[in-house]
Amino acid sequence: MSEGRECRTIAIHSYKGGTGKTQISVNLALIWAIKGFNVCLLDYDFRAPSVGTLFGIENLSLWINDYLMGRCEIDQGLVDVSPKLNTVGKLLLGLADPSIQAVSEAIGQNEKVQLGSLRRTIDAQEVLPRKFGVDYIIIDTSPGTQYSSLNALFASDILLIVLKRDRADMTGTARMLEEVYSRSPGEKRILVNMVPPELDLGRVKAEVEERLKVPVIGTIPCYCDFSIAGGESLFALERPKHGFVETLREISEESIFQIDRPTPSVRSTD
């Protein structure tokens, strides 16, 4: 990290798929970029990349895979979408290659390559703040224990664990806390997503904290319009007053995420 500049690296992870982890990653990145912070969002879900689709980007000459494999420098594997989206701060994307060949390559990584990817993940935390003035690095991970997810967990300052309130997810997350998350040096927080509307959010928060012994940073109700949108909308830009976005905005202002620099001017969302 460059002298005089602070940066937070946040790994967003879940025990299983279908928790809304990617939507949370994307919209948190947008919220900070709209406020005027410089953000780099990295897609480490190499088995099922989807961040590029959300931003309408499908064909690139270089991907974040290429950087992690040592085939290019970090800046060559990034796309700056802030001019297109008109955000106050920079929004840089490091996108995972969605091709079948790249997915197969990611699955077949040996230990030496995995260690090299970890080293480059750590190197990026130095280069991004120094070269691009990045304030927040958000890593959208693959669910479970894929090597890329473990690299992100071990390199992060903050681990945001996304779960749904069901038995399988709660049990699996409890096991991950004991066997995997405990090895990460980052501070742990839980975000409960897709809470059924008939349940009291405060009671859900208390139940999860009692069961998992980790602070719950937020609880988000299940919104049917997310399903209708088919995961194709950038809600923080297109529907900034939506309850999902409002909850994430509140979460983004929690003390754990604050960096030692003045908050930039906020772009009007009216």
Q: Given pLDDT bands bounded at 50, 70 and 90, which one contains residue 268? A: very low
Q: Using 50, 70 and 90 to split pLDDT, how confident is the model at 5?
A: low
- Compute the average pLDDT of residues 38-56: 95
d(CA 150, CA 148): 5
* SS3 annotation, 171-195: HHHHHHHHHCHHHCCCEEEEEEEEE
- Written out in words, the top-level CATH class of the domain with range 8-244 is alpha beta
pLDDT band at 1 (very low <50, low <70, confident <90, very high): very low
Q: Tens of pLDDT along 201-254?
A: 999 999 999 999 999 999 999 987 776 665 667 999 999 999 999 999 999 999
- 85 vs 29: CA distance, rounded Å: 12
Q: Where are the beta strands (DSSP E) in 99-238?
A: 136-141, 158-163, 187-195, 216-221
Terminus-to-terminus CA distance in the chain, angstroms? 36
Residue 10 has pLDDT above 90, yes or no: yes
Q: Is the overall model pTM greater than 0.85, yes or no?
A: yes
> What is the pairing mode between strands 79-80 and 8-13?
unpaired
pLDDT at 111: 77
State mean pLDDT over 101-107.
86
Give the integer Cα–Cα distance in Å for 114 and 106.
Answer: 10
Helix pair 147-155, 111-132: axis angle to 10 deg = 40
